[in-house]
Amino acid sequence: MALTDVKIRTTKPREKAFKLADEKGLYAYIAPNGSKSWRLKYRFAGKEKPLSIGLYPDVSLADSRDARDEARKLLTKNIDPSTAKQSSKRSAKIAAENSFESIAREWHAKCSSKKWTPKHAERILVRLEKDIFPFIGSKGITEIEAPELLNVLTRIENRGAVDTAHRAHQNCGQIFRYAIATGKTKHNICADLQGALTPVKQKHYSSIKNPIAIGELLRAINNYQGHFPTKCALQLAPLLFVRPGELRHAEWSEINFETREWKIPAEKMKMRVQHIVPLLTQAISILSELRQLTRDEKYLFPSVRSIKRPMSDNTLNAALRRMGYTKEELTAHGFRSMASTLLNEQGWNKDVIERQLSHGERDTVRAAYNHAEYLPDRKKMMQHWADYLENLAVINITELKVA
């Protein structure tokens, strides 16, 4: 007699497992712990075999009968349902391992451990989880076509995030290249999308590059009446022209007064390569003063709210605003552009300038060579730059105009 849903639902477990038969070999297996599962008894190649279908009530009576009928169809084709089920599981596992999301996360984990700062890694993962995975993450990487990826990127673009769309495109290209290298696909469809997105309007950090205006800025910084560590950070920003995040996270353990060097650890750098900043005479003087105040702390520039944290990422920009400089005139990041522009105009070797800006070589061998080759030149250039800025800060403006 065929089972009913009421019968299977109301049957209580016993001390020993038992079966409730349905039809055509299907039965419910009732375990002593009360779990109920569907199984199919069938014969293949002269042997009786069981096929597990699933747990009740996750698999309903109707669904279990459908599964039974599908298994019986396979038997008519001389296919073992158990073997077919195992093959299907293997295929599903392979498909999951080769899904875009699975490969992307594998790529992300490798890069996070070897190349990126934690903040950079988080930014990329959030971008993928928000804008890419929901649409193509579950698809096998070999199944994704260029128009499909373009639709995903266009969604980002249509909300006005053109730069994000381009960055997502770049990340997807890196993921496809990784998949090619690991033998999981043969073609990078991102290469087919070159030029398909709206071009990004180049955004430049506001900066001051006129020598007269730079002199005025330096005098304003020297006369800054706010928090002393903030004043020191403002004084060092144009001298060292490191990224604002690198400056505010500087630790006393990284500063060597004897060698006059600041060694920024690889994990703090964008490209995960240690960066050496020569400490010119003027910088040593500023740091010596600052050391009297914060030398017992971890950070050179601790937060005013907690000495266990560095100053906030908005501190320097906020100080510039209090000094009267708008965000259209100058940002903390703009000191890098200031130095790059003027040092190039003054004829310094472009490679030396780029190395000091920590625009790292992707080729690690070349990076190591250039690191050793350019450090003496960088020290000369940095001292020249500090002397130049010091001169701008004290020179008579009338004389500078005449010159």
First to last CA, the chain: 108
86 and 16 assigned to the same domain = yes
24 and 137 assigned to the same domain = no
238 and 374 assigned to the same domain = yes
The answer to whether the CB of 55 falls within 8 A of the CB of 31 is: no
Indicate whether 232 belongs to any domain: yes
Q: What is the mean pLDDT of residues 3-25?
A: 92
218 and 324 assigned to the same domain = yes
Indicate whether 175 belongs to any domain: yes
243 and 117 assigned to the same domain = no
Q: How many domains does the chain have?
A: 3
Residue 220 has pLDDT above 90, yes or no: yes
Q: What is the mean pLDDT of residues 79-90?
A: 82
Print the domain residue range for 241: 211-402
The fraction of the chain above a pLDDT of 90, given in percent, is: 72
Looking up residue 188, the CATH number of its domain turns out to be 1.10.150.130
pLDDT score recorded for residue 96? 64
Q: What is the largest CA-CA distance in the chain?
A: 109
230 and 313 assigned to the same domain = yes
Measured between alpha carbons, how far is 190 from 136 in angstroms, rounded to an integer? 14
Residue 1 vs residue 51, higher pLDDT: 51
Q: Please, which pLDDT band fits residue 46 given cuts at 50, 70 and 90?
A: confident
Q: Which residue has the tokens 């989880």?
A: 129
Q: What is the mean pLDDT of residues 343-357?
A: 94
Cβ-proximal residues to 227 (8 Å cutoff; 6+ apart), any chain: 304
Phi and psi at 41, nearest 5°, equal -95, 125
295 and 217 assigned to the same domain = yes
Residue 398 has pLDDT above 80, yes or no: no
115 and 43 assigned to the same domain = no
81 and 113 assigned to the same domain = no
**Catalytic machinery residues:** 243, 270, 333, 336, 359, 369
Indicate whether 268 belongs to any domain: yes
Q: In what order do the strands lie in the sheet with 26-30?
A: 18-21, 26-30, 36-44, 47-56
Looking up residue 70, the CATH number of its domain turns out to be 3.30.160.390
Other C-beta atoms lying within 10 Å of the C-beta of residue 178: 20
Q: Which residue has the tokens 């708008």?
A: 326
pLDDT score recorded for residue 85? 84
313 and 343 assigned to the same domain = yes
Model-level pTM? 0.57
Residue 39 has pLDDT above 80, yes or no: yes
The pLDDT tens digits for 272-311 are 788 999 999 999 999 999 999 998 999 999 998 888 899 9
Q: What CA–CA distances, in Å, run from 73 to 43, 79, 147, 181, 392?
A: 13, 9, 38, 41, 89
Last residue in a domain, options 92, 120, 149: 92
